Structure 1
């Protein structure tokens, strides 16, 4: 630490930092001190300016994409307040799963078919995907989790669901970087085929196991499960109370 402190007066300011601050004269002086007076540093300075500008454009584009996704997510959440009781849990969930699976597959197709506007369309489909998720699955999952479990098992059911989500989340955090990394699988938009295929299989499972519990009380839900009412028929089932 002491040696580092003694060397501070002799250290050279980062030319990259100075270019980002638009201090080009300071960047020239820093590069000249680094490479010596006999080296022409204008080419190096131009390369740093170009790389810095590309980085700034990429960051701005990324931030704009995040603002669009966030805005669609907020709009989707607001619409879900009304759609969840209008269309019901089962129908909204299945529509969301089908649409999201189709969007993923379409993103994969656009990565295979060469087209000038393919990248722009893929970005647009990603925003639409986020909107569909927020308006359908994003709201249905938490509601179904509380409705399908009995009060005595609700805490355990929530804990099991949280643990399952964490396990799959860890798996995705490991697999996705490998799939999109240019030095690894480098699948780019073709990951849409992976998630589209997984989504199609999950949609079939949801079609079999997701019940319709719109406007049902917890007592009615318990009675239907106790009577072993088929999940697809719970929406039309008439609960008879016995005294």
Structure 2
């Protein structure tokens, strides 16, 4: 009896003491199991979404993401404004009334020309402003998003056009171009990044390459406008083309207010529900699983190295390599034919064409550029970025040297026509390879965490290289400068050769790679020529 009483007396005490411990362990065990199950489900969802993107054809991707295509189109349209004004200033140098108002007499030819120093200054002012703009774009976009950063830039664009419209001296034109460049920098930094983030893998190339198409459209509009107003007298010959810039910002402002934010940016900010809503706005709900797609984005964001979002991070491995690729591709645009393309009308004049013929050839060049950009979409989507970029640059390098040779055989009608022909080919081929393919590479190279900063910094390098190149190009072509004409092909052929060699050794193939796979490839420091051959398993995280 005594033993029984003792047992019964001890039993409740034992139960009271052990129960909290058991419950705690049980809760912890349940939480661990629950967390493991959630992690497993999360990874499975992410893998399923990535697999679905890999298995899509280009046409299926368009059908699944029709609104993503539309909003990429809208964002890319902002590039028309930079293109319009860059080509406008280039065409003003050849516009009769502009030369009458602001030119000086060239005693060698007896004609009015814009002085070489102002010719260079006017063409680099916008780029100098854009250089400041791209450095503002990265931090601004990282903080408030692509959508609101673009809206702010569009408002600023509307205001700065007033300064250029009422300019009555070359110094005021310089200031106006400088101010307009600020929003340009935000447009060009954000557009390739936003376009690459809102579409699936198979549409990244065409969605970013459409930027070059709008660049060509901007030049077509400018070519048609200046061709029409060139024979006219009075300030309206250049003020009306300036005023036409107001066609673009306000409609785009309304559209960007209605546009969805990049779901990748929302995931980076931890706003997962909003990211899922954004995914649903970009695609067809019947074809997509928004939760799986957001899980795929979370997987990439969480796998990327933790750290501050600052320009300093761009110079730490493995992001340093990505920064160098983006910067190199941007810089190469100025060294493989871009400056001849941007000064096509003026180049044709210096090659011996009449003013009206030069404007007509400039318009034809712009139309051909748009066609070749669209051809580049198709080839890049199926054959990849690296081969199109390298072979296109190689062809342009040969054409640049051919241009120099044509200018060295003496002055004749045949030599002038040959120079004009090679100049046209260089301008068109630039928009087939180095320019549109470059935008595809730029849009997908940077890590998700640092993408706004990477594209912004890369574009800054573009302007840093372009500004001295503009002075050099103007000096080489201007009759009051070196007056080299087509012999400038030797200079640009040499720089294009350097770019071609660097691209061969350091430009990787990123066609068909998810952002997770690209993160792993860069983290493992896979050589550029091995990118396409390296297999990354769907379950790998690094």
Which range, TM-score by smaller chain? 0.7 to 0.9
Question: What residue is the counterpart of 1:4 in the other structure?
Answer: none
Question: What residue is the counterpart of 1:158 in the other structure?
Answer: 455
Alignment of 1:239 with 2:533, yes or no, is no
- In structure 1, which of residues 105, 111, 125 is the aligned counterpart of residue 407 of structure 2? 111
The offset of 1:173, in angstroms, is 1.8
Distance in 2 (CA, whole Å) between partners of 1:180 and 1:132 is 21
- In structure 2, which of residues 417, 435, 457 is the aligned counterpart of residue 120 of structure 1? 417
The offset of 1:225, in angstroms, is 1.0
Alignment of 1:182 with 2:503, yes or no, is no
- In structure 2, which of residues 369, 384, 389 is the aligned counterpart of residue 93 of structure 1? 389
- TM-score, structure 1 as length reference: 0.73
**Partner secondary structure for residue 536 of structure 2:** coil
Distance in 2 (CA, whole Å) between partners of 1:127 and 1:181 is 19
The correspondence of residues 12-23 of structure 1 with structure 2, limited to 5 A, is none
Distance in 2 (CA, whole Å) between partners of 1:151 and 1:242 is 18
Q: Deviations over 1:57-104 (max 9, x none)?
A: 822111111111011101111101101122211111111211111111
In 2, are the aligned partners of 1:72 and 1:130 still within 8 Å (CA)? no
Distance in 1 (CA, whole Å) between partners of 2:509 and 2:443 is 13
In 2, are the aligned partners of 1:72 and 1:127 still within 8 Å (CA)? no
Alignment of 1:224 with 2:524, yes or no, is no
Alignment of 1:144 with 2:441, yes or no, is yes
Distance in 1 (CA, whole Å) between partners of 2:366 and 2:485 is 23
In 2, are the aligned partners of 1:75 and 1:131 still within 8 Å (CA)? no
- TM-score, structure 2 as length reference: 0.34
**Partner secondary structure for residue 532 of structure 2:** coil
Alignment of 1:202 with 2:482, yes or no, is no
The offset of 1:182, in angstroms, is 2.2
Q: Deviations over 1:161-205 (max 9, x none)?
A: 111111122112211111122232121111000000010011111
Distance in 1 (CA, whole Å) between partners of 2:365 and 2:529 is 33
The offset of 1:140, in angstroms, is 1.3
**Partner secondary structure for residue 135 of structure 1:** coil
**Partner secondary structure for residue 105 of structure 1:** helix
Alignment of 1:65 with 2:358, yes or no, is no
The offset of 1:116, in angstroms, is 4.5
In 2, are the aligned partners of 1:103 and 1:129 still within 8 Å (CA)? yes
* RMSD (CA atoms): 1.8
Distance in 1 (CA, whole Å) between partners of 2:477 and 2:425 is 21
Distance in 2 (CA, whole Å) between partners of 1:225 and 1:158 is 17
The offset of 1:106, in angstroms, is 0.5
Distance in 2 (CA, whole Å) between partners of 1:77 and 1:242 is 36
Which segments of 5 or more consecutive residues in structure 2 lack a partner in the other structure? 1-230, 233-352
**Partner secondary structure for residue 117 of structure 1:** helix
In 2, are the aligned partners of 1:105 and 1:196 still within 8 Å (CA)? yes
Q: Which runs of 4+ in 1 moved over 6 A?
A: none
Distance in 2 (CA, whole Å) between partners of 1:82 and 1:157 is 26
